[in-house]
Amino acid sequence: MSGSPKVVVPHREYFLFSGRPADAGFWGTPGPAFVWPADHAWCVAKDVDPHWAGIGATATTLDRLVADPRLDIVAADPDREQPAYR
């Protein structure tokens, strides 16, 4: 990772990589914390909790993801108590 650009935010440091999703396993990391396409139409973010990730996208895209029975997704409303791992 030497030579890779790094972003520092409070309490976290992130290396920046660019590539295809299939390339993620070859970057020498446990997996990306943030993923988004070049057009920034959506993003997926995860932190140190392996059971949780956030998805940012259009309302239509999020509705389709939540409705897909193959996925374990719940909607999170910032005005309500957030879903918790139990």
59 φψ region: left (φ > 0), alpha (ψ -120 to 50), beta (else): alpha
Q: What are phi and psi of 68, to 5 degrees?
A: -75, 115
Model confidence at 1, in pLDDT bands (50, 70, 90)? low
DSSP SS3 for 23? helix
Model confidence at 85, in pLDDT bands (50, 70, 90)? low
Global pTM value: 0.61
Q: pLDDT of 61-77, one tens digit each?
A: 999 999 999 988 888 88
Q: How big is the CA angle at 43 (ends 78 and 41), to the nearest 5 degrees?
A: 105
- Tell how far CA 25 is from the center of its chain: 15
Q: Check residue 50 and give its pLDDT.
A: 67
Q: Where are the domains of the chain?
A: 1-31, 33-86
Q: Which residues are registered as beta bridge partners of 14? A: 7
Q: pLDDT of 11-61, one tens digit each?
A: 888 888 888 877 776 666 667 788 888 888 888 888 776 677 788 899 999
